[in-house]
């Protein structure tokens, strides 16, 4: 959906900045085929204890909200994968025994993609658990041109990486499917969007399967259904081969444009 909306904008001469925020498994590049020209490592500062200065007082372990530092006898252990790089332990150490050293979490890449789309993505290193800092840095690093629309492709679900991705957006487009599973996740995502005071629209994917409960829920909540994507083998096959919905069904172009127009109308600024 995100890649097709980006191509739809580009076809109208309004090529957007596209940010793939699904940093655990970024795949929008398979569809938009960017040429990466810029790279930047993402790192955070994590503590390193100078043993010669440490008195094993335990203050650092007390203040760490994430159980990322522990004092065992005379030894201080730092579990870097739990560390949120908040700096509290360094600030609170009475002996000034803690230094901060950079730890690389992943990489940012950017470059031009199809039809003039500016593309950027974050990618976490294998085994790194913290997506938040990579997404935050991606959003700071890749800045849009004057008046350029930004499309952020968020990870699925409602966990911290999603919050980090959608925070500060103007509009949240939720893609669901008309099944009990889809409804369950949609309700959680709607709650999250409402917490962040975001206007919300819904796309029903695989329309034609399941039941009418998603539609009823959207009606009750006053959520506009902006698009229905039919349940079709051709779409599944095409996307599996790296083709966007727009490329598989060029006739969807008018409907995708209508989605953008409805979002623009709701925001008071047609795209
Ligand atoms: S707070 Fe400082 S001195 Fe105390 S155990 Fe931690 S590193 Fe050592
Ligand atoms: S920087 Fe923050 S999260 Fe990391 S070990 Fe220190 S107190 Fe814990």
How many other β-carbons are positioned within 10 Å of the β-carbon of residue 197? 6
- Complete domains list, the chain, with CATH: 2-42+106-267 (3.40.50.300), 44-104 (3.30.70.20)
- Is the Cβ–Cβ distance between 107 and 5 less than 8 Å? no
Q: Can you read off the two tokens belonging to residue 142?
A: 């890749």
Q: Given this model, what pLDDT does residue 130 score?
A: 85
Mean pLDDT of the chain: 95
Q: How far is CA 58 from CA 66, 86, 91, 208, in A?
A: 15, 17, 13, 60
Q: Given this model, what pLDDT does residue 110 score?
A: 98
Q: How far apart are CA 32 and CA 121, in angstroms?
A: 12
pLDDT band of residue 126 (cuts 50, 70, 90) is confident
Q: Is 8 helix (H, G, I), strand (E, B) or coil?
A: helix
Give residue-wise pLDDT tens across range 42-88: 999 999 999 999 999 999 999 999 999 999 999 999 998 899 899 99
- Atom 7 (ligand 2) nearest CA: 64
Give residue-wise pLDDT tens across range 139-160: 999 999 999 999 999 999 999 9
What is the position in ligand 1's atom list of the atom closest to the CA of 55? 3
Average pLDDT estimate for 212-219: 97
Q: Given this model, what pLDDT does residue 271 score?
A: 57
% of the chain residues with pLDDT over 70: 99
Q: How far apart are CA 186 and CA 180, in angstroms?
A: 10
pLDDT band of residue 127 (cuts 50, 70, 90) is confident
Tokens 């990579």 — which residue? Answer: 134
Give residue-wise pLDDT tens across range 25-46: 999 999 999 999 999 999 999 9
Q: What is the best residue among 51, 55, 62 to mutate for testing ligand 1's pocket, by most ligand atoms within 8 Å of CB?
A: 55
Q: What is the best residue among 67, 76, 94, 96 to mutate for testing ligand 1's pocket, by most ligand atoms within 8 Å of CB?
A: 76
- Atom 4 (ligand 1) nearest CA: 57
Q: Given this model, what pLDDT does residue 270 score?
A: 56
What pairs with residue 43 in β-bridges? 104
% of the chain residues with pLDDT over 90: 94
């Amino acid at each position: 959906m995100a890649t097709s909306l980006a191509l739809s904008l580009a076809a109208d001469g309004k090529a957007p900045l596209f940010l793939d925020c699904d940093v655990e498994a970024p795949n929008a590049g398979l569809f938009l085929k960017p040429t990466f020209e810029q790279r930047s490592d993402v790192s955070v500062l994590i503590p390193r204890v100078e043993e010669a200065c440490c008195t094993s007082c335990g203050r650092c372990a007390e203040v760490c909200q994430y159980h990322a530092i522990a004092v065992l006898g005379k030894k201080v252990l730092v579990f870097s994968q739990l560390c949120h790089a908040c700096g509290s332990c360094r600030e609170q150490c009475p002996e000034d025994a803690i230094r901060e050293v950079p730890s690389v979490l992943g990489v940012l890449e950017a470059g031009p993609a199809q039809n003039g789309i500016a593309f950027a993505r974050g990618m976490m290193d294998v085994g790194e658990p913290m997506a938040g800092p990579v997404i935050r840095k991606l959003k700071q690093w890749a800045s849009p041109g004057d008046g350029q629309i930004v499309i952020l492709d968020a990870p699925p679900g409602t966990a911290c990486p999603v919050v980090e991705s959608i925070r500060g957006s103007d509009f949240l487009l939720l893609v669901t499917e008309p099944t009990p599973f889809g409804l369950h996740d949609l309700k959680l995502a709607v709650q999250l969007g409402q917490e962040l005071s975001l206007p919300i629209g819904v796309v029903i994917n695989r329309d034609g399967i399941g039941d009418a409960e998603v539609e009823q829920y959207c009606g009750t909540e006053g959520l506009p259904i902006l698009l229905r994507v039919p349940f079709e083998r051709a779409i599944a096959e095409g996307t599996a081969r790296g083709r966007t919905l727009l490329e598989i069904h060029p006739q969807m172009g008018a409907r995708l444009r209508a989605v953008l127009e409805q979002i623009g109308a709701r925001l008071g600024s047609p795209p």
